[in-house]
Amino acid sequence: MEAIDARSVEIFRAVVEAGSATYAAHKLKITQPAVTRAIAQFERNCGLMLFRRGRHGMTLTDDGRMLYEEVQRSYAGMERIAAAVRSIQSGKRGDLRIVSLPALVEGSIGRLLGEFARDNPEIRMQIVVETQEGVLRSIGLELADLGFLFGPLSSQPHFDTAPIGERRMLVALPAMHRLATRRSLRIEDLADERIVLISPPHTIRSIVELRFFEAARRPKVSCEAATQKAVAAMVATGAGVGFIDGEVASQIDAARVATVPFDPPVTWTIQTVRNKNRHISGPLRSLLRRIRGSASANLDALGDEAEPGRNVRRLRPRSA
């Protein structure tokens, strides 16, 4: 048997599917005699009779049928490869490494990433939680494709940042607390209250300590908690009052915890950050398009940001 070339296999397959050399020639955009010669040479190279020639065209012999089945399996593999190439080109296949603050990925950012993973099952996504400094370090060392953190950030020549939403700080109180019906609360209103503080390092912790310092007060810290949801849970038990952001407020039980806007308002921006030196892969490009689409649809921050006072329960405190 002589060597079989890919072009001969292609012509053989075209003749089988078209049913005649004439139709195959039209499909392949070559002449009918060229097809006939190629098939005859292919049969000689194989040492097999592959077709029966008749008035109604060319039909496969048993040997030809077995060969065609093998050719189809080979072409199916090639088509899978071609489909994989198209999938990679379109950004629907590949790997993504995301690094985020826990407070973000456990809320609306997590929902957005989950929806993206659902819609792109061939993209393998790894999500790592870090501190603000850890997010910046991972992006700076090109250990992650994209980061989510609070901004604004100081100018960094190798970082590309984009705001995608805003968070607002609220005061969390037991639902029956005497201050729960207030429209807003200042540090002076909380000076005699026991405070449940979130553990450092955390944006809210830094802001609260600064506000108490500016008011020449010292917070009466009753306990500390690792997450905002833990702060809310401790507030619900009556351990004190705490500080959480609007998105977390939208996820807690308003029957147990009331939230009141802080005065003066404290807001901070949610930002994406990536290293300009790191290649933008197809999957990252797809994710960035999804994020921009969510942001243009009034993200705040990608989800159920609580409006001021939305979770405040207008209940009268019980009389002593």
Q: Quote the Cα angle for 41-47-50, to 5°.
A: 70
Q: What is the mean pLDDT of each run of 10 residues along the chain (320 residues)?
A: 81 90 92 93 91 83 90 81 68 87 81 92 92 92 94 83 90 96 95 93 87 93 92 95 90 93 91 92 91 64 40 36
**Spans of all domains in the chain:** 6-89, 94-165+268-296, 168-267
For residue 88, the model assigns a pLDDT of 66
The CATH architecture annotation of domain 6-89 reads: Orthogonal Bundle (1.10)
For residue 89, the model assigns a pLDDT of 65
Measured distance CA(301)–CA(270) in Å, rounded: 7
- Label residue 33 exposed, middle or buried (CB < 10 Å: 0-12, 13-18, 19+): exposed
Strands 94-100 and 123-129: parallel
Equal CATH topology for 94-165+268-296 and 168-267: yes
In terms of phi and psi (left: phi > 0; alpha: psi -120 to 50; beta: otherwise), the region of 54 is beta
For residue 102, the model assigns a pLDDT of 81
211 close to 264: Cβ distance less than 8 angstroms: no
Measured distance CA(135)–CA(128) in Å, rounded: 9
| CA 176 to each of CA 191, 209, 232, 236, 256: distance values in angstroms, whole numbers, following the listed order | 19, 26, 14, 10, 8
For residue 236, the model assigns a pLDDT of 96
Determine the 3-state secondary structure of 170 from DSSP. Answer: strand
For residue 49, the model assigns a pLDDT of 92
CATH superfamily of 94-165+268-296: Periplasmic binding protein-like II (3.40.190.10)
> What type of residue sits at position 112?
L
For residue 196, the model assigns a pLDDT of 96
Is the domain covering 168-267 a CATH 3.40.190.10 domain? yes
Reading the block at residue 221, the tokens are: 């810290």
Strand partners, 273: 147, 161
37 close to 10: Cβ distance less than 8 angstroms: no
